[in-house]
Amino acid sequence: MKNTKSINNLVQKLQALNYSENTISSYRSELIKLSLTLNVDFSRLSIRIIEDYLRSSKISVSQSNQLISSVKLLFKYVLDKKEFSKLKTLRPRKESKLPNIIGKNDLLASISKISNIKHKAIISITYSCGLRVSELINLKIEDIDSDRMLIKVVGGKGNKDRYVPLSENILTLLRTYFKKDRPKKYLFNGQSNSKYSATSCNKIVKKYVSSKYSFHTLRHSCFTHLLESGVDLRVIQKIAGHSSSKTTEIYTHVSNRLLGSIVMPL
């Protein structure tokens, strides 16, 4: 395939810079699609070509940003094109959508009815700690620190590590699960692979909670419910692993309980 060498060179560079596997895979996929669609040698890529491609393509805002990010890195690290900084002018405005939230009582009721201990543990720890699906499936047994009542989340978004609180309820549930399933390396093993899959995680949420929710909804619900219970926004930012407080502030817009508690002037 044309441009294979350029794409592989970028992959090697990003690996050397400790980009996460998921990020590298996403950028590689975008560049392969771009190469196949345009059938143009990447050495001839320009801002105008990318702009025309984005205008003619029916892709979402997030996909557009993913493509622009991948091309920017290609320009910077492989093609040595100085105009990589100008690519930011092509970025579309972010879609202003509030995340879906599951009511706390409804979610707890759904969890209480789960008889499969492994599925129950996966949904419970994700909701309790606000984990991303990639963080959940990469959890190792050694990451559970029962002495300090903390969970070490290794290689989160931006390849950053962080600690999140471990509750007594979750620890008890994990111990029950561990005695039954006896996982080896990863906390949650898959049937054929060494770790559980992201696809399976989404399936169990739809099975036990609702088909209209995704696995990531558990994370959004965790932080919204923490905010409603009075936890400081800066603490939530730390637990969530957000580099900017602006990202965490979205939960102030979805907390109906806080809105309902406000006393209006008249």
Percentage of the chain beyond pLDDT 90 is: 50
Section 32-60 average pLDDT: 85
Of 37-41, 81-85, 139-143, 227-231, the one with minimum mean pLDDT is: 81-85
127 noted as active-site residue? no
> Which entry of 104, 157, 162, 238 is annotated as an active-site residue?
157
More confident residue, 195 or 126: 126
Contact yes or no for 137/121 (Cβ under 8 A): no
Question: Per-residue confidence at 185, pLDDT binned at 50, 70, 90?
Answer: confident
- Beta bridge partners, 151, equal 144, 164
pLDDT value of residue 95? 55
pLDDT value of residue 135? 94
Question: Per-residue confidence at 259, pLDDT binned at 50, 70, 90?
Answer: low
Question: Per-residue confidence at 230, pLDDT binned at 50, 70, 90?
Answer: confident
Question: Per-residue confidence at 166, pLDDT binned at 50, 70, 90?
Answer: very high
pLDDT value of residue 125? 97
Question: What pTM was computed for the model?
Answer: 0.69
220 noted as active-site residue? no
More confident residue, 246 or 77: 77
pLDDT value of residue 207? 96
Instruction: State pLDDT tens for residues 97-124.
Output: 667 899 999 999 999 999 999 999 999 9
251 noted as active-site residue? yes
> Which entry of 81, 195, 219, 225 is annotated as an active-site residue?
219
- Look at residue 7 and tell me whether its pLDDT is greater than 90: yes
Q: Is the dihedral of CA 210, 212, 216, 218 positive or negative?
A: negative
> Which entry of 33, 76, 207, 242 is annotated as an active-site residue?
242
> Which entry of 72, 120, 132, 225 is annotated as an active-site residue?
132
44 noted as active-site residue? no
Instruction: State pLDDT tens for residues 29-43.
Output: 999 998 988 888 998
> Which entry of 27, 127, 213, 251 is annotated as an active-site residue?
251
Contact yes or no for 167/126 (Cβ under 8 A): no
C-alpha span between 153 and 162 (Å, rounded): 5
3-state secondary structure the chain: CCCHHHHHHHHHHHHHCCCCHHHHHHHHHHHHHHHHHHCCCHHHCCHHHHHHHHHHCCCCHHHHHHHHHHHHHHHHHHHCCHHHHHHHHHCCCCCCCCCCCCCHHHHHHHHHCCCCHHHHHHHHHHHHHCCCHHHHHCCEHHHEECCCCEEEECCCHHHCCEEEECCHHHHHHHHHHHHHHCCCCECCCCCCCCCCCHHHHHHHHHHHCCCCCCCHHHHHHHHHHHHHCCCCHHHHHHHHCCCCHHHHHHHHCCCHHHHHHCCCCC
More confident residue, 186 or 156: 186
- Look at residue 265 and tell me whether its pLDDT is greater than 90: no
- Look at residue 20 and tell me whether its pLDDT is greater than 90: no
